[in-house]
Structure 1
């Protein structure tokens, strides 16, 4: 009887709701914690093990990081052809990141923990981060300049660090010239080519016009020849140095320093040194371009593309959603047609996102973009300008996808405005437009901001439609540069969500890519949270500003 009264009082349901909320929060925090630990732990300079591994009567030296641990049944391993002792039921296996893919052919291997012995962590083992072929482990023997040994023994390490810094500075200079100055030259030459083609189509290609175009081309070619000389000199200087390393099997490997990003001795590093290296690795992840089929390097182009696309989507969807909501609430007669439109808007919110992607590809890209090319860019044919997936069509497609959310949220805010305020404004002589602009819209801003928050949250994580209307695995250039018109809406771009999909499911090296999947997923959550919190803070300020007016 008491239990029945307890439930009738409603207190039980309060506790059940509180428990459900607590469980949900624990699950969300747990998932984020798992993603953060798996992703951010990748950047910590892990100790490198050296051990002897006995298998099939042979013993070999293994150098690498213990990457993963797994417990398997002995019966299953025997079925797969692995030799396991007859008196055991379960076997512990380690995944060893041995690197040196260009030497061994694979940078990960599974070993039996019981066959691994004499583990050591020598301080002279060097870990190399390379532009190609992934991580390298070995012992530094000598540093060479043009094939001549310039340092070996104890002096080799400091010499190696100095020369790696030198080659990295050459890398930066080459990248700046190629992407900056030479990129600008190529952009100008393409503009001249299109200008010539346009004059040809308009039958205005006179001798004077050809001479003028030729003179402008000569200017660009002369700039290129000067830069070409600089590049060749930088390439020669960069290829000068190399280093010799001794790998696990005792053989030697000579590596050009131009292929090395950084070198560390993790076993000899203090905690503070590792913290410094960890911060540098995280910053490189945030600021560098991807390498090695997106399994190495950074994700800056993906961050840039995601944020820019979300901002463009917000700029497009906000006025459209506000205008549509104002018309439905303030101007349209509340009849069957208006109700039908509201039902249609609510139904659009439930349409799968891939359908919007197919619509965007067919209507925006092929129909609208193709007609824009035919009308305004005939000289570019057959190469499309706007008749191909790009940043603009991606932003418009996601604006269309989030438009129902924006309309519903804005209309709900309009419905909560007291009728007396509108009538009072009109009674004081304000027109309907002035009332809308000075009274209704300011008081609806918190609801508008709520719609923006929901739109940003959904759009930032969408991947399926973007795969059809603009996102790519690796974009050669950013959509924004110093060449007019500075923001190139027709260019393809990278996106954090698609980057996660590509690295996780399309990577040729799944084991190496797995930590980056976690790191990029955690970064995407942070980007979405940052955008949402910024909008929430603005909404709260507006809510406080108009609270007195609402009361």
Structure 2
């Protein structure tokens, strides 16, 4: 039997072209998303790999020759004419030249830790085993040869060799032990300064505010003042003891120094206490590099930022982002659900209700910066100032809630996302069959009991869908947060061991703002670029984890109440 061929018009009318067009569009979108994530991952995670350090002779025509010690960052091809316009004597027979960005480090010595070189003029390239990389707490990376290690100004180990001889390795071992010792002392100092002294400062500030409150109320009697003075004296004594401990620790940590020979041949003496890590990448095996790599990734996730956010970790930003999203979710869910329930179940379905629904839908399209301006004007300047006047007069003129903080940021984002929850909840309520409600009422349940025990459980998957959309939008917002509480660097977390433990008035860090700050406000663009990719990938992962948690809860609820829908 012969198959009849379809004409083009019949094929178009059948809808097959549109099916293939949609499938192609979805495939292209998936490829673009996956490609973007791979680009971010490679650029961001590659930053933590301990790259080899090369030593080369660089002889650019018309400029002095010198030895170059650096990491290779990236290579690009540029027109030779562009280099000639820059004053570089490139031969006329060259059309394209390969140029490489090299990370030379040693910013305190050279003033800059990156430079561009033309590959053709790099000669005698080698990878010395004794060349080391040191990650410092200030001034970025240090590259050079270790010459000597000192304790209290006395040399305990030194070498003149640039090759891995017994003398050079013994000096390196002494250097590693000094770094470990300094790291232990640094951790002790950090605990005293951030936790112990921080707790005392918090207690002293509480005493000061209590004294000021008694003054304003006219209740500062000599007995009360004596009690406060005695309590303050006790904390002062504790502070003096901790201060003496800090003096002793700083004396110990500043004991060790080392001498390094940098790429221009000069030698410099530096304190070991400024070193976070020191390693010889050219002498490391693949396994050793993998171990170091995962150590660096963990530090990125768990440490505090350094060097204007271009070094160190992003833990305060992760913590602030997650805590703000959780508070926002706790605030937006009940308000959004209650509003949707009223509009769908209780409000008369007239022109007023239709107007409210239109307003809610329009609110979902308002630019986020407008919510930020509203939060600044209403929540901070109006409500916050009123709260300070009513409940915290002793702290004035320093604001408590009359300035940006975690609470106002969470409420502002809750206001930003509440239309999404309302619309999703209403859609879920509208899909509940009418006979389910009527059956519940026929069995003697009140309207509220029907709503609470039957309707809302069946609509919970839709409610969770709204929450998922709200979390996805709120976690990535930056513009309103810049006005209502986020900062470049927060001195402490909004959750600590000091009463009341959760400090809703504190400013906080956020991954989205961290990306903006590092990418556009950093004084060292080349050093900050990899961290932009790494933080962006981390923000995507955090949002994905929050969404996956919400999706898991939604699926559980859907399975739990599936029988009610049948």
TM-score range, shorter chain: over 0.9
3-state DSSP class of the match of 1:58?
A: coil
Partner of 1:154: 169
3-state DSSP class of the match of 1:479?
A: coil
Partner of 2:84: 78
Deviation at 1:498, TM superposition (A): 0.2
Alignment of 1:9-88 (within 5 A): 9-55=14-60, 56-88=62-94
Provide the TM-score with structure 2 as the length reference.
0.97
Partner of 2:164: none
Partner of 1:523: 538
Q: What per-residue deviation string (whole Å, max 9, x for no partner) do you get for residues 74-110 of structure 1? A: 2222222233222212221111100000111100001
Q: What per-residue deviation string (whole Å, max 9, x for no partner) do you get for residues 207-246 of structure 1? A: 1111011000001001101111111111111000111111
Deviation at 1:373, TM superposition (A): 0.2
Which has the larger displacement, 487-496 or 198-207?
198-207
Partner of 2:551: 536
Deviation at 1:69, TM superposition (A): 1.0
Deviation at 1:57, TM superposition (A): 4.8
Partner of 1:375: 390
Pick aligned residue for 1:226 from 229, 241, 244: 241
Partner of 2:565: 550
3-state DSSP class of the match of 1:96?
A: strand
Partner of 1:247: 262
Partners of 2:49 and 2:351 lie apart in 1 by 62
Pick aligned residue for 1:98 from 104, 107, 112: 104
Q: What per-residue deviation string (whole Å, max 9, x for no partner) do you get for residues 42-100 of structure 1? A: 00000111000002252210000111112111222222223322221222111110000
Partner of 1:3: 8
Partner of 2:371: 356
Q: Mind listing any 5+ residue stretches in structure 2 that lack a counterpart?
A: 1-5, 159-167
Partner of 2:293: 278
Which has the larger displacement, 73-82 or 144-153?
73-82
Alignment root-mean-square deviation, CA: 0.8
3-state DSSP class of the match of 2:59?
A: strand
1:400 aligns with 2:405: no
Pick aligned residue for 1:112 from 103, 113, 118: 118
1:122 aligns with 2:128: yes
Partner of 2:500: 485
Partners of 1:411 and 1:159 lie apart in 2 by 69
Deviation at 1:19, TM superposition (A): 0.9
3-state DSSP class of the match of 2:278?
A: strand
Deviation at 1:253, TM superposition (A): 1.3
Aligned residues: 551
Pick aligned residue for 2:526 from 511, 516, 527: 511
Q: Mind listing any 5+ residue stretches in structure 1 that lack a counterpart?
A: none
Deviation at 1:363, TM superposition (A): 0.2
Which has the larger displacement, 461-470 or 226-235?
226-235
Q: What per-residue deviation string (whole Å, max 9, x for no partner) do you get for residues 330-374 of structure 1? A: 000000000000000000000000000000000000000000000
Pick aligned residue for 1:324 from 339, 349, 355: 339
